[in-house]
Amino acid sequence: MADSAFFHLHFSATCQNLPPTILIGVTHAQTCLVLGARLRALRKAGFRVLVLSSPGLLLDQTATREGVERIALPMQRGIAPFADLVALFRLWRLIGRCRPDLVEFSTPKAGLLGSIAAWLRGVPHRVYMLRGLKLEGTSGFKRRVLLAAERMAARSAQVVLCNSESLREEALALRVADASKLRLLGDGSSNGVDIDRFSPGPSKVREDLNIPASAPVIGFSGRLTRDKGLPELMEAFKMILAAEPATRMLLVGWFDAAEDALDPEVRERILRHPNIDCTGFVGDTAPYYRAMDVLVLPTWREGFPNVVLEAAATGIPVVTTASTGARDSVIPEVTGLLIPPGYPYAIYEAVMKLIHDPERRQRMGQAARAWILVHYAEAHVVGLTVDCYKGLLAQRLTGPVLAAKNATF
């Protein structure tokens, strides 16, 4: 939809210094790490942008840096019926006060409660951003509850934006929503990657961590949890060290106290291991990628892993799994290697292939960056979101009450 149509629709609001309002909501403040480019692009496109999450420093920092308004509203990531009802009421009341023209909620709890609150308030345009399916890897009653929550969130929205093609396929197979509602923008990803910040170049990280220039470095970036495959990575690292004793592992991330938190013994092994450097949370991860020979993400589930895009943009080959979302982030045998999730030996075998073949690593790294430049540059990815939301807002409305009624349960 052309910019003229978009701004014509909101002409009266703009004349009153009230640009169209978009509310972006996530459950936990740490998700704000991947919202920056999205918030900035929407603000620069002329929207009034509000970002909402549970209270946290990352919420405050992100809102300040991107020049958007922040809203701190407590939500629990786990199942908590009473707290969830309180959060739903607060969201309903908040949406009634700020009267957004469009809402985008994502992550399981905010996606469910925020989408329902927006539906109840009759927000004209409601988007559920599907960043992954937490139900993958679960079974029994918990799986049924999580699937019901995903379906409810999708039904409360008018559009479900999927983070990757395989995620869209999985959501369709699980009947989270009809095919007409499940949309993929471009080639996937919600944020893209800053190709200038994440680029090949020198790094002092090896020097700072006393890692010899000749030592192979296996890297990981992100939350240190079970679902990210850390237990399997630790088992694979034993085998790698038996074959290449000088190998170092660089874990760029933090121990997340979520439902998939690492067992205490695994955490202790990581912290005590002489060949593992664990950084904790790092604000600028770019120099750490440049210190790696290979990035390994042995994940069980993803939406579309930003860390793979970042490593690829830096010219680093990636080993990741064929799980939902992750398999979209690599061109097999071209930009990296795909392995089945849950198999330490598969991690070992793939890593050893790349460690022992520096020319292959270089070819893959160059191909990875070239692929990112074409498909996943930040400006391109967030530009698709801006165009999508302008198009939604430019559609003629038949009234918020009717719009709400169209989302039947």
CATH number at residue 285: 3.40.50.2000
- Rounded Cα–Cα distance for residues 126 and 95 (Å): 12
Q: Are 292 and 358 members of one domain? A: yes
Strand partners, 318: 295, 336
Q: Which is it for strands 248-252 and 21-25: parallel, antiparallel or unpaired?
A: unpaired
Q: Are 42 and 153 members of one domain? A: yes
Domain carrying residue 179: 3-191+377-405
Q: Are 260 and 394 members of one domain? A: no
Q: Are 173 and 296 members of one domain? A: no
- Rounded Cα–Cα distance for residues 160 and 181 (Å): 6
- Rounded Cα–Cα distance for residues 118 and 239 (Å): 51
Residue 84 lies in a domain: yes
Sheet holding 217-221, edge to edge: 276-278, 248-252, 217-221, 294-297, 318-321, 336-339
What length is written for the chain? 409
Q: Are 352 and 399 members of one domain? A: no
Residue 367 lies in a domain: yes
Global confidence as pTM:
0.89
Question: Can you give the pLDDT at residue 278?
Answer: 97
Mean pLDDT (10-residue bins), the chain, 409 residues: 40 56 96 95 97 97 97 90 95 97 96 98 97 92 94 97 97 97 96 96 96 97 96 98 98 91 95 97 95 98 96 98 97 98 98 97 98 97 97 68 38
Q: Are 22 and 131 members of one domain? A: yes
Question: Can you give the pLDDT at residue 17?
Answer: 55
Q: Are 182 and 299 members of one domain? A: no
| Cα separation values, 128 from 157, 159, 391, Å | 6, 6, 16
Total tally of structural domains belonging to the chain:
2
